């Protein structure tokens, strides 16, 4: 018995996590995958026959392709802006001394404690036609601008939500940096900016990589923000899936779109990871 | 006026003065070490010269130019950091070329100079390696090459050898001196290792609690330490408290009634003095044939010499004897100590506390 236990222990330890993963992720995914091949009829509903028609419909229809393209574009833009804002933010954070560092770390993580839906409504109030932003624009004499239900609104809100996921990995990799390395670059004649670009940034590229993977993945599958700030017409992949399920009641088509988004996301992220990580690993070890 | 001068340089952190009114003048081509225990302010001094720490007070001039407020990237000094601070994502050649790139040196000349510099530090074959693929000693030499390739007026070394093992440290000491003499760069090295400071410097500056307490050539520092702290910090020293007995124009030192021949000093009778003598200045003789008898308590063999701890009437005395190939006296033996009077140094403590 005492001989059997060591072999059993790791399985027992891993079982809660594995069961959760199997029951809540793998199983629904498999069911969705099967569902996406079912035939759907508008009068009788889902039939127990199999077809590739849903996939063919999505690939051949400009409407769906347009939404996929927008999703990709907005997710990439969000990632880019998050990286551009997050890097200096993380750098400043890493140079702060302690009382302030903790305060600002909390400020950065703070938004995560508020529901995404609440934050999306907040933005829709700010960006609405009579919202604070437009009042300010009017007061300054620029006239009103249509902000709500535009791609800009979606990107603004996504950046706000995703920023912590970029700042924290970069900050972690900055922590590991020898502060003297930057001083060495200065002593060799590099300006502060050059030192940052040539010496600090390449070394936090792994942190930026994981940050952008998280941000891209979450943005491409974001639901609440495009749903509330994009309006009925400006759809992204997740809101499209929702519409197919809940409004069209065409579950198999929705499932097919969901599977395609998942695969596209997976391919993009793996390719990106392979590309950047391979290079970083080679030099940084 | 020296090439590099520090004038009443101070750095105060809140209440604590890390460096207090430091004055130093370094000549062109000179190798100066700042020696002291950790927390004595030597690294802060170096960082102020480098421009990484802003002085609270005082002035730094380089070749007649005031550089006190100049940013580090405009000082043009070469710095070798304790951690080496190599750029991990660049090859050895790229590391060394970085400073030249910042100076907009044309590519052809840059490659030429990098190659020559890597040759000087014997790293020619390692140009395409990354720092993590090098040993500690090799990294150290990359750091030196990187700092020297820009032909800095002054080279600053922050504990450059402390991360190396003992054997490599000794090799690199001489290597460092060889490179410095070859290039002729004015060099300031911070170290807590007195052997390192003594062996390769032209002058050693001893720092204690933010002050420079002695600035001297290594052998003078060793023979004539200015303070009790320096005498114990630099090399080994036997230190005993005694009394000065004056008779006429001369006198002698005395401890517990024992008369000890020493160097001549001009002190009043009964003056309390500190007597000090280096272990290697003492000779071991058969019992009764020296100036002071004692019993060997411990004996240590250290390769090139033997170290004895001898219990005498005036206290425990360390004696070191060169290894001449024969086994010397062993533990428990009674021996006599002898010395030339001039090697027993006498320092006045104060008139008070004089033995009756």
ipTM of the complex: 0.79
Specify the range with the lowest mean pLDDT, choosing from B73-77, B145-149, B260-264. Answer: B260-264
**pLDDT band, residue A2 (cuts 50/70/90):** low
> Looking at residues A117-134, what average pLDDT do you find?
88
pLDDT tier at A285, thresholds 50, 70, 90: low
Q: What is the DSSP letter of B160?
A: T
pLDDT digits (tens, 9 = 90+) for A31-48: 999 999 999 888 888 888
CB contact under 8 A, A187 and B132: no
Q: How many distinct structural domains can be found in chain A?
A: 1
pLDDT for the residue B352: 45
- Closest CB from A187, A194, A198 relative to B77: A187
The pLDDT-based confidence of B175 (bands split at 50, 70, 90) is confident
What confidence tens digit (pLDDT) does each residue in B346-356 have?
A: 888 764 444 43
Q: Which residues of chain B lie closer than 8 angstroms to A178, CB-CB?
A: 83, 85
The whole-number pLDDT of residue A132 equals 87
Query: How much is the pLDDT for B354?
Result: 40
Whether the per-residue pLDDT at B187 is higher than 90: the answer is: yes
CB-closest option in B87, B103, B132 to A199:
B87
DSSP classification of residue A230: S
Q: Does A47 reside within a domain?
A: no
Residues 170-229 of B with CB under 8 A from A: none
CB spacing of B87 vs A183 below 8 angstroms: no
Q: Is B127 on the interface with A (CB under 8 A)?
A: no
Looking at the domain assignment, is residue A9 inside a domain?
no
- Whether A16 is covered by a domain: the verdict is no
- For the ranges A105-114, A151-160, B3-12, B42-51, which has the lowest average pLDDT? A105-114
| Residues from chain B contacting residue A181 (CB–CB below 8 Å) | 85-88
- The reply to whether B151 touches chain A by the CB within 8 Å rule is no
Residue A36 located in a structural domain: no
pLDDT of B197 over the 70 cut: yes
pLDDT of residue B356: 35
CA geometry: angle at B136 spanning B133 and B138, to 5°?
70
Q: What angle do CA B283, B286, B292 make, to 5 degrees?
A: 60
Q: Looking at residue A258, what is its pLDDT?
A: 92
**Residue A185 domain boundaries:** 62-284
With an 8 Å Cβ cutoff, are B102 and A189 in contact?
yes
Radius of gyration of chain B (CA): 25
pLDDT of residue B134: 92
B79 close to A (CB below 8 A): yes
The answer to whether residue A26 is domain-embedded is no
A190 to B102: CB separation less than 8 angstroms, yes or no: yes
Whether residue A116 lies inside any domain: the answer is: yes
- The pLDDT score that the predictor gives to residue B330 is 85
B54 at interface of A, judged by CB pairs closer than 8 A: no
pLDDT single digits (tens) B206-265: 999 999 999 999 999 998 888 888 888 888 888 888 888 887 777 788 888 888 888 888
pTM for the structure as a whole:
0.78
pLDDT of residue A4: 54
Task: Name the percent of chain A lying above pLDDT 70.
Answer: 96
CB B182 within 8 Å of CB B13? no
Judged by CB atoms closer than 8 Å, whether chains meet at A187 and B83 is answered as no
Least confident of A97-106, A253-262, B145-154: A97-106
Residue B157 has pLDDT above 90, yes or no: yes
Give the rounded percent of residues in chain B with a pLDDT score beyond 90.
48
Q: Which residues of B touch A183 (CB under 8 A)?
A: 50, 52, 72, 79, 81, 85
Q: Are B97 and B145 in contact (CB under 8 A)?
A: no
Q: Residue A211: give its domain's CATH number.
A: 1.10.3720.10
Residue B169: predicted pLDDT: 84
Look at residue A57 and tell me if it is in a domain: no
For residue range A203-248, list pLDDT tens digits in order: 888 888 889 999 999 999 899 899 889 888 888 988 999 988 888 8
Question: Is A221 a domain residue?
Answer: yes
Instruction: Search chain B and give the residue with CA nearest A283.
Output: B89
**CB atoms A203 and B146 under 8 Å:** no
Q: Does B353 touch chain A (CB under 8 A)?
A: no
pLDDT confidence band for B51 (50 / 70 / 90)? very high
Confidence of residue A282 (pLDDT cuts 50, 70, 90): low
**Mean pLDDT for chain A?**
88
Max mean pLDDT among A125-129, B96-100, B227-231 falls in: B96-100
* Cα distance between residue B162 and residue B157, in whole Å: 11
Q: What is the mean pLDDT of residues B305-319?
A: 91
């Amino acid at each position: 018995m005492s001989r059997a236990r060591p072999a059993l222990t790791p399985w027992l330890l891993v079982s809660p996590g594995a069961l959760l993963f199997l029951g809540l992720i793998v199983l629904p995914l498999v069911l969705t995958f099967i569902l996406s091949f079912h035939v759907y009829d508008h009068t009788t509903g889902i039939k127990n026959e199999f077809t590739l028609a849903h996939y063919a419909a999505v690939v051949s229809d400009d409407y769906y392709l347009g939404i996929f393209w927008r999703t990709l574009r907005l997710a990439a833009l969000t990632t880019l802006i998050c990286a551009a804002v997050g890097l200096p933010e993380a750098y400043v954070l890493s140079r702060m001394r302690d009382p302030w560092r903790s305060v600002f770390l909390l400020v950065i993580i703070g938004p995560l404690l508020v529901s995404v839906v609440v934050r999306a409504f907040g933005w829709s109030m700010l960006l609405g036609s009579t919202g604070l932003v437009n009042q300010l624009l009017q007061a300054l004499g620029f006239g009103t601008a249509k902000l709500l239900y535009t791609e800009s609104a979606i990107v603004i809100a996504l950046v706000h939500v995703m920023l912590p996921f970029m700042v924290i990995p970069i900050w972690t990799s900055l922590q590991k940096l020898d502060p003297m390395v930057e001083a060495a670059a200065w002593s060799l004649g590099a300006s502060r900016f050059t030192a940052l670009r040539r010496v600090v940034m390449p070394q936090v590229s792994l942190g930026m990589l994981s940050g952008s993977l998280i941000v891209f993945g979450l943005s491409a599958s974001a639901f609440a923000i495009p749903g509330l700030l994009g309006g009925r017409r400006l759809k992204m992949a997740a809101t499209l899936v929702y519409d197919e399920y809940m409004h069209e009641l065409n579950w198999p088509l929705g499932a097919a779109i969901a599977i395609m988004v998942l695969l596209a996301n997976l391919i993009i992220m793996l390719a990106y990871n392979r590309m950047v990580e391979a290079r970083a690993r080679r030099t940084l070890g | 006026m020296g090439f590099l001068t520090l004038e009443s340089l101070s750095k105060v952190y809140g209440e604590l003065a890390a460096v207090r009114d430091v004055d130093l003048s370094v000549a062109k081509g000179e190798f100066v070490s700042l020696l002291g225990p950790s927390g004595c302010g030597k690294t802060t001094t170096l960082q102020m010269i480098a421009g990484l720490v802003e002085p609270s007070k005082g002035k730094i001039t380089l070749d007649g130019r005031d550089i006190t407020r100049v940013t580090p990237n405009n000082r043009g000094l070469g710095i070798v950091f304790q951690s080496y601070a190599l750029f991990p994502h660049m090859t050895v050649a790229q590391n060394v070329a970085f400073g030249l790139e910042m100076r907009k040196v044309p590519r052809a000349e840059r490659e030429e100079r990098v190659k020559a510099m890597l040759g000087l530090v014997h790293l020619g074959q390692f140009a395409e390696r990354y720092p993590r693929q090098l040993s500690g000693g090799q990294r150290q030499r990359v750091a030196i090459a990187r700092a020297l390739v820009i032909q800095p007026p002054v080279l600053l070394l922050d504990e450059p050898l402390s991360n190396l093992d003992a054997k490599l440290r000794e090799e690199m000491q001489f290597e460092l001196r060889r490179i410095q003499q070859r290039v002729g760069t004015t060099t300031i090295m911070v170290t807590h290792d007195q052997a390192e400071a003594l062996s390769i410097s032209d002058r050693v500056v001893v720092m204690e609690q933010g002050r420079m307490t002695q600035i001297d050539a290594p052998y003078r520092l060793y023979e004539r330490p200015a303070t009790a702290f320096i005498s114990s910090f630099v090399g080994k020293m036997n230190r005993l408290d005694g009394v000065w007995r004056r008779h006429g124009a001369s006198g002698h030192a005395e401890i517990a009634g024992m008369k000890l021949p020493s160097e001549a000093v001009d002190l009043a009778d009964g003056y309390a003095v500190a007597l000090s003598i280096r272990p290697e200045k003492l000779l071991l003789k058969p019992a009764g044939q020296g100036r002071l008898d004692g019993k060997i308590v411990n004996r240590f063999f250290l390769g090139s010499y033997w170290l004895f701890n001898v219990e005498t009437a005036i206290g425990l005395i360390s004696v070191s004897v060169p290894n001449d190939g024969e086994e010397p006296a062993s533990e428990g033996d009674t021996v006599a100590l002898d010395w030339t009077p001039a090697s027993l140094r006498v320092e006045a403590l104060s008139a008070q506390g004089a033995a009756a």
